Every structure is written in C-alpha cells, then in structure tokens.
Structure 1
C-alpha cells in the first residue's frame, strides 16, 4: 500500500517531535501538530492523582495571562470534573469524549453552567496515559463546537502515537514528577472557615453523595456508584441540606466554592 503525502507529512512531524522531547517547547509543538488535523479552542496537559491536578502546560487565557476560571478549577472544581472522576474510578488509558464520562444530569449542574460552559463551551476530549501510583497523564482538548465523528475517528487513529510521545516526555519532567501533588481541599474541614455554622458534621457517605450530586449524577447513578438504594440517596440528600441549612443544590454548590477558597 502506497503512502499519501499526508501520511509522509505526519511521520515527518512525529520525527521532529521525537527530536524535541527534551526541549521546553515540546508540549506546544505537540498541540500545534494536532491542530493541523483536528481544530480545537483550548488545551491543557495535566497530571491527575489523589491530590490537586499538576499542570505541565496550558493554553494562555484570553488576555495572554492565566485563565481565572481555570485557577478556580485547580483550587477545587476539578473534583466535579467528569474526566477527573472517571480517571479516579477507572485507571485506564485511551481517548475519552465528554459524552463518554459525563453523568446523566451534567448539563443541569451549576458546575456546567458556571464553569464548563464558559471555559470549555461545548465539547471536550481527553487522552489519558495511566501511570504508576494511580496517576494519569492527561491531554485535554476543548472545543466551541462538538467534535465530529470524523475528527474523533482521526484522534483515535493517532492516539497511540500521541500517548507514546506523552509517556516518553515524562523522562524530561522529573521536577514535576518528583514533587508530591498539593493535597485536595478538605471540604468538611473548611465549612466552618467560611463562617458556616453546621448543625452537625457531614458523614463520609454524605460528602460522597454531595460531590456526586454536584457533578451531575442522578439519584440512580449515585446509588449504582455507591452500591446503595436510590431511596437511601434521597435520605442522604435530605440530611445534607438539613445539616448545612440550605434548600437547593445551587446553595450547595455555592458552599462548595466558598470552601475551596478558604
């Protein structure tokens, strides 16, 4: 089978990327190569673990500086990110689309309306490379338009090449790889720090249910994830609202945000 000019160009570009593996501009070079084949509007390279995400590289914000919404993400909103949750539940590699990992009610959440819709806008795909110690190296691509089936098929075709390059790059990211990730924010411990007088401490299970609610999981999805009944989920939700003195999921999200900032 003969090679096309596009095939030759791809192999030449990958060869140049291999030569630049040890250079500071590697991640930008990789992203620019992908842009030649699939259009996207934002990107970030992250390391997911049990702590806060660690950033290898990211696209600049609208003014050329750090994106304030992305800083909110790193402070704590990542805990509601469907991709982060999926990477912790299933430590596997591959190409994942938002539709593959988003909970049933994701678009109805405050997280989607107040962060995702503004920062990512329409669609997101993520290429995951599983590492030891339950860490995952991720390349996320965000788009203002849904990715088409042809674009997703192309990303799936080149995914082994990109994943291999990402893994090889880690040999030159020793400083970040060796540093422990910052601890994830402890929601329970910070509730009083924001001036909230709770009736009593939320249990571990109530905290789990609360985060799954905020991430967009329906009662049935929460029940399946936690191996409890849907009725038990409703009881936990009632207890959460009562203990925190709130009446809606939007109020719960606001408390969650305040706790991350404390």
Structure 2
C-alpha cells in the first residue's frame, strides 16, 4: 500500500475507535506505514486466559492453533506475556529482545512457535487498565521468510505512541478480575502436580521448572532468582529426579497439560 494513503487510513482508524471495525482499520493503517506478513491483537489479564480480538495472516499456519493451544495455556510461556507479568511500560518490543537466552531451544518454541512459521515479531504493547495489557503484534512468517530491518523497527517505534494511544482508547473499558494480584503459576503448578501425580515439588523447584520451559539457561535462571548457576543445576537435577524424567522435552509434556488447565 502506498505511504501516501497513510493519512487517510489514520483518519479512518480514528473514526473507527469504539466500533467492531477497529482491528481491521488498524491493520489497514499499519499496512500503509509498515511492511509485515501478519497481525494479531490480544489482551492479557490477571487470573484468566487471554482474549484474541483480531488476527490476519496470508498463511493459515500462523494462527492455526492460537485458540486451542496458545490461549489454552501456552501463552504462559510467551515472552510477550512476560511483559504483562512484569508490568512493562508501553512501547514497541521485539520478540528476540525480550525472549530468554535459550528461547529457540525450548519445547514451547519447538512444539508451538516453530509451527506458526513466524520468523520475527514486533509488539506494540500498552496497558489500558489495571491488570490488563494489550499487544498488537505484527510479524514476518514463511510468506516472505524475512526479518524486520533496523529501518522497519525504527519506523514502528515512531508510530508506537499513536498505536498504543488508540488501542487504549478503543479498549479502555476492559477490566481484569476484581483481584488483580498476579496469579501464582508456580504455586498452582506445584499443588496440581502433587494432587494428580503425587509429585511433591518444592517452591523453588516449581519456579525453576517454569523458567526452564520459558527458555532460560541456568545462568539466566540464576540471575532471575538471585542464586548461583551451580545451585540452579542442583535444583534442576533434583526436579528431574522427582519427576522421573531426564530432559526438558519430558518436563514440557509433563507440565503442559497443567498449563492448559487440563490433566488426566
């Protein structure tokens, strides 16, 4: 789309605030100022699964399992959900900049993310209300097989305040649960594993388990929890022994059903 159409598209977007056409008109304007293959708009909340507002892609694989696998629990391992958990400031974020150091080696990446064919993602991120965050993700996938250039990112950064302001205005009435205290994912996991599998993890072991699944190395886990990498390795060894497993892949398939709220 020609950049000359951008002002008209922006005007249409402003007029669409508060209507069902907002997602589509946002895509139309972004098409005039950015180059991307797909777009997804979703909201994160405290204590309940995310809500998908809008998706569009030229290849169906990108969002093929977003409602079943991603919303069902895989989102808990998504680096962009991590922005919500950490109450990151509004802005533009690149997946590779916020992902853990071993993200591309973890099972979430291998079993879910790789199948989307995504090669790069930029997320416009804002929080229109307490306990609520919205991401407008534009991505590159197998359609072009390319990544965003420095120029692409700089352009997206310049328009991020406009995107986020309009998103906040459009979805400003969203509310999280009355109790906006972040859910204790590690604690819930620990409780359910003991109830269903008889696996009694310590609090630290359950924390390490989640960080491993998110793609953190022992060094990164140590920095996150304020302990030494050697201590992390000891905890990880104890974790695997209690779960009677020997790999990250086995850990993922043991825990994934509990992330999705479904267990045997």
Alignment deviations for residues 49-75 of structure 1 (CA, whole Å, 9 cap, x no partner): 3332222223379669x7325421111
Counterpart residue number, 1:148: 149
Is 1:49–1:88's contact at 8 Å kept on the other side of the alignment? Answer: no
Q: Which runs of 4+ in 1 moved over 4 A?
A: 60-64
Counterpart residue number, 2:43: 47
Is 1:50–1:184's contact at 8 Å kept on the other side of the alignment? Answer: no
The reply on whether 1:71 has 2:68 as its aligned counterpart is: yes
Alignment deviations for residues 152-187 of structure 1 (CA, whole Å, 9 cap, x no partner): 11111111111111111024xx4xx24639x78743
TM-score by length of 2: 0.84
- The number of equivalent residue pairs is 249
In the TM superposition, 1:88-237 aligns within 5 A as 88-144=85-141, 145-171=146-172, 174=173, 177-178=174-175, 180=177, 186-191=188-193, 196-198=197-199, 201-237=200-236
Counterpart residue number, 1:257: 256
Is 1:42–1:120's contact at 8 Å kept on the other side of the alignment? Answer: no
Whole-Å separation in 2 of the counterparts to 1:96 and 1:54:
20
Whole-Å separation in 2 of the counterparts to 1:184 and 1:77:
16
Whole-Å separation in 1 of the counterparts to 2:222 and 2:176:
36
Whole-Å separation in 1 of the counterparts to 2:220 and 2:87:
16
Counterpart residue number, 2:23: 27
> 1:84: Cα distance to partner?
1.1
SS of 2:93 mapped into structure 1? strand
The reply on whether 1:86 has 2:83 as its aligned counterpart is: yes
Query: Structure 1: which 5+ residue stretches go unaligned?
Result: none
Counterpart residue number, 2:240: 241
Distance 1:131 1:69, change over 3 A: closer
Distance 1:58 1:180, change over 3 A: farther
Counterpart residue number, 2:7: 11
TM-score by length of 1: 0.84
Whole-Å separation in 2 of the counterparts to 1:221 and 1:42:
31
Query: Structure 2: which 5+ residue stretches go unaligned?
Result: none
Between stretches 139-148 and 243-252, larger displacement belongs to 139-148
Counterpart residue number, 1:36: 32
Provide the aligned C-alpha RMSD in A: 2.7
